[in-house]
Amino acid sequence: MRVPLLDLQQQYAPIRDEVLAAVTRVCDSQHFILGAEVEQFEREIASLLGVAHAIGVSSGTDALLAALMALGVGPGDEVITPTYSFFATAGCVSRVGATPVFVDVDPVSFNVTAEAIDAALTPRTRAILPVHLYGQCADVDGILAVARARRIPVIEDAAQAIGAQTRGRQAGTLGDIGCFSFFPSKNLGAFGDAGLVTTNDDELGWKVRLMRNHGMHPKYYHRVIGGNFRIDALQAAVLRVKTPHLAAWTEARRRNAARYERSFTEALAGHRSLRLVPASAAPTAAGTLTLPAASPDAYHIYNQYVIRVHDRDGLRERLTAQGVGTEIYYPVPFHLQDCFAPLGYRAGAFPVAEAAAADSLALPIYGELTENQQRHVVSTIVAYYR
Ligand SMILES: *Cc1c(COP(=O)(O)O)cnc(C)c1O
């Protein structure tokens, strides 16, 4: 049986005609950059997220870059961010000339905590950049309390969290600026690169719009130095077709997460050499398996379903041999990446992230996954530790 990590063909098949009609509409208009299609998309996604301003950009990476630039973050500034995320989170901080200040993550959610951020504050802290990793919100309220006390802006990296909620409020709309990615493998994927910046602050919204298009307003009058962070009309048209399906796709991912939990629990009842244990800060011990834990406050959208196991690499090889796609998000935390060596962090600085990097494994969780495919994943894992 083949169980790919992600199968976008299955999502595409039922909407193919609608997507092709939308693409044709843009081709027939021969209007490819910004314009009416993008404006429509921005209105629709702003209303879905319940946010005042939604600004389509060229990628999630460029969303982060435009957000940092709009806030005026630059040389001499520090930005506090988790050491455990996709590279763009930290890379963008360095690209604007600021210094990323890494902190460890929580062992249960893999998210950065308010306590860790509080401990990393210095007089140079110019922004806080939490990530809603794997589709579950970080403790935004706790982080905002730390930030507001010092009037430090919060940029939410919601690239993996579109539609995620905490206490009924949407990820990416709670801090000062939210950044989303429509990379094809994200929960809402474009047909290429695309991203989004959100804010409820009129002035910040205006600044992000300026940054997106070379700081230009009106045409050929440049108020600030921005970049080309524009979203294509073709991507906006595709996203307009997909957006109305997002809620159902998310529900399917959540159903699959619940099915994994049931299936692992059943398969491990009476198993002699493998048992389920709650997440802890320590590396996963031999004979134990940890499943993702959704906080009671969270509406988790499962961009990834990440388990923790002993002998992760051996298990991964077995899964590959049995036709099951997996991925490691992420094998090396930021503070141990070569490109950040000049920052002077050492191995052992952030033990929770380092342990997670060594023993976490993402399993297939996309909505169209069948119950049989999930059983195959679970039985392959359970059999490996027998
Ligand atoms: C995907 C991702 C990004 C970058 O998005 P792109 O659209 O690929 O540039 C940034 N941060 C996180 C956490 C991501 O997962």
Which DSSP letter does residue 225 get? -
Place of tokens 């002035």: 203
Ordered DSSP codes for 51-106: -SEEEEES-HHHHHHHHHHHTT--TT-EEEEESSS-THHHHHHHHTT-EEEEE-B-
Q: What is the distance between the alpha carbons of residues 216 and 242, in angstroms, rounded to a whole number?
A: 31
- Residue from 89, 111, 197, 304 whose mutation best tests the ligand 1 pocket (most atoms within 8 A of CB): 89
Same domain, 293 and 320: yes
Structural domain contains residue 260: yes
Q: Which of 245, 273, 301 corresponds to the end of one domain?
A: 245
321 and 206 fall within a common domain:
no
Q: Are residues 187 and 260 in the same domain?
A: no
194 and 212 assigned to the same domain:
yes
Residue 64 CA to ligand 1 centre (angstroms): 9
- Give the Cα separation of 25 and 42 in Å (integer): 18
Q: Could you tell me which residues are beta bridge partners of residue 232? A: 33
Buried b (16+ CB within 10 A) or exposed e, 69-92: bbbebeeebbbbbbbbbbebbbbb
Q: What's the total number of domains in the chain?
A: 2
Check residue 355 and give its pLDDT.
Answer: 96
Give domain status of residue 26, yes or no.
Answer: yes
Residue 356 belongs to some domain of the structure: yes
Q: Indicate whether 48 and 133 sit together in one domain.
A: yes
276 CA distance to ligand 1 centroid (A)? 31
Residues with CB under 6 A from ligand 1: 59-61, 85-86, 88-89, 131, 157, 159-160, 181, 183, 193, 195
Q: Could you tell me the CATH number of the domain that includes residue 368?
A: 3.90.1150.10
At 282 the pLDDT is 83
Same domain, 166 and 239: yes
**Those residues with Cβ within 8 angstroms of residue 272's Cβ, 6 or more apart along the chain or in another chain:** 386
What averages of pLDDT result for each successive group of 10 residues across the chain (386 residues)? 97 98 98 96 98 98 98 98 98 98 96 98 98 98 97 98 97 98 98 98 98 97 97 98 98 98 94 91 91 94 97 98 98 98 98 96 98 98 94
The verdict on residue 2 lying in a domain is no
pTM above 0.95, yes or no: yes
- Which residue's alpha carbon is at the smallest distance from atom 5 of ligand 1? 60
The pLDDT value given to residue 330: 96
- Is 278 within the bounds of a domain? yes
Domain-ending residue, one of 202, 230, 245: 245
- Residue 144 and residue 21 share a domain: yes
Gap from CA of 93 to ligand 1 centroid (Å): 14
Same domain, 87 and 210: yes
Beta strands in the chain (DSSP E): 53-57, 78-82, 99-103, 125-128, 155-157, 165-166, 169-170, 177-181, 195-199, 275-276, 288-290, 298-299, 305-309, 360-363
**Inter-axis angle of helices 312-321 and 371-384, nearest 10:** 130
CATH code, 206: 3.40.640.10
Q: Are residues 193 and 324 in the same domain?
A: no
Query: Are 224 and 211 found together in one domain?
Result: yes
Comparing C-alpha atoms, which of 275, 320, 357, 313 is closest to residue 105?
A: 357
Are 73 and 155 in contact by the 8 Å Cβ rule? The answer is no
Q: Are residues 227 and 281 in the same domain?
A: no
Q: Which atom of ligand 1 is nearest to the CA of 183?
A: 7
In a shared domain, residues 310 and 325: yes
Q: What Å distances lie between residue 125 and 79, 118, 146, CA to CA?
A: 6, 11, 12
Residue 1 lies in a domain: no
The domain containing residue 240 runs over which residues? 8-104+111-245
Choice from 110, 181, 304 to test ligand 1 binding pocket (greatest atom count within 8 A of CB): 181
Boundary-marking domain end, from 229, 245, 261:
245
d(CA 284, CA 291): 11
Output the pLDDT for position 70: 98
270 located within any domain = yes
Tell me what pLDDT residue 283 has.
86
Round to whole Å and give the CA distance between 58 and 42.
13
Determine how many CB atoms are found less than 10 A away from the CB of residue 113.
Answer: 21
Whether 325 maps to a domain, the answer reads: yes
